Amino acid sequence: MIESQGPVANTTAPKVRSLTKRRADHKRAAPLARPLSPGPAGHGQVRILIRSNADILEARRHGRELALRLGFSSIDCTLIATAISELSRNIVLYAGHGEICVGEDHPMGATGIVITAVDHGPGIRDVRSALQDGYSTSRGLGLGLPGVKRIMDEFEVTSKPRQGTTVTVKKWKSN
């Protein structure tokens, strides 16, 4: 069962929008303190097309920038950027191309960063195995997905053979 990225975008986007609105009310005269991410994605979300190695760097740079802006600690910023790196490399490696969405989530005053990796590649045949350390179909170390699961707070993967894979991960700001 594959979940398109629709539901994810729908749960995060309105929250982000309402937050921006609330902030705007507080400081009505103040100009927009932080530039909203470029591109048509809007709602504080950045969408990066992943086609090559260079896009991996681009994706993790955006992730780190957003994490810094949201006030994550430097260690968390590195963990987040690394997770993006692993997820986008999986896209290049297994699906050839796909996209990474980096956005924010603010349920009940918390601050979180949400990363969604979507591809329409071959899918993961055995998700449970793919989440175990050392399982790899690409001669890698097999630390990618399980590693990402460990360094993030929330992790969800849906995949359907020949249709693609969606991985959604979140990290919450502590304190």
Partner 1 sequence: MDRIPVLRMGSLLLITIQVDMHDKLALQLQDDVTHRITEYGSTGVLIDISSLEIVDSFIGRMLANVAAMSRVLGAETVVVGMQPAVAITLVELGMSLPGVRTALSVEAGMELLLTAAAETAYGFDDERSQA
- C-alpha 3/C-alpha 57 separation (Å) is 26
Q: Which is nearer to partner 1, 13 or 143 (CB)?
A: 143
Contact flag: residue 64 with partner 1 (CB under 8 A) = yes
Q: Which is nearer to partner 1, 13 or 68 (CB)?
A: 68
Among 54, 110, 174, 175, binds partner 1 (CB under 8 A): 54
Task: With contacts defined by CB under 8 A, name the span among 36-44, 96-104, 116-124, 146-154 that binds partner 1.
Answer: 146-154
As measured in angstroms, the least distance from the Cβ of 76 to partner 1 is 8
- C-alpha 96/C-alpha 89 separation (Å) is 9
Q: How are beta strands 164-172 and 112-119 bridged, if at all?
A: antiparallel
Closest among 175, 8, 149, 11 to 90, alpha carbons compared: 149
CB atoms within 10 A of CB 147: 15
As measured in angstroms, the least distance from the Cβ of 87 to partner 1 is 10
Report how far apart the first and last C-alpha atoms of the chain are (Å, whole number).
36
User: What is the per-residue binding string for partner 1 in 151-170, x denoting contact by CB under 8 A?
Assistant: x-------------------
Closest among 43, 36, 37 to 15, alpha carbons compared: 43
Beta-strand ranges (E) seen in the chain are 46-50, 98-105, 112-119, 154-160, 164-172
Restricting to residues 73-132, name those near partner 1 by CB under 8 A.
74-75, 77-79, 81-82, 85-86, 89
Q: Which is nearer to partner 1, 89 or 106 (CB)?
A: 89
Q: Which is nearer to partner 1, 8 or 50 (CB)?
A: 50
As measured in angstroms, the least distance from the Cβ of 99 to partner 1 is 18
- C-alpha 112/C-alpha 110 separation (Å) is 7
- The partner residues of 36 in beta bridges, in order of sequence, read none
Binding site for partner 1 (CB under 8 A): 53-54, 56-57, 60-61, 64, 74-75, 77-79, 81-82, 85-86, 89, 133, 140-141, 143-144, 146-147, 150-151
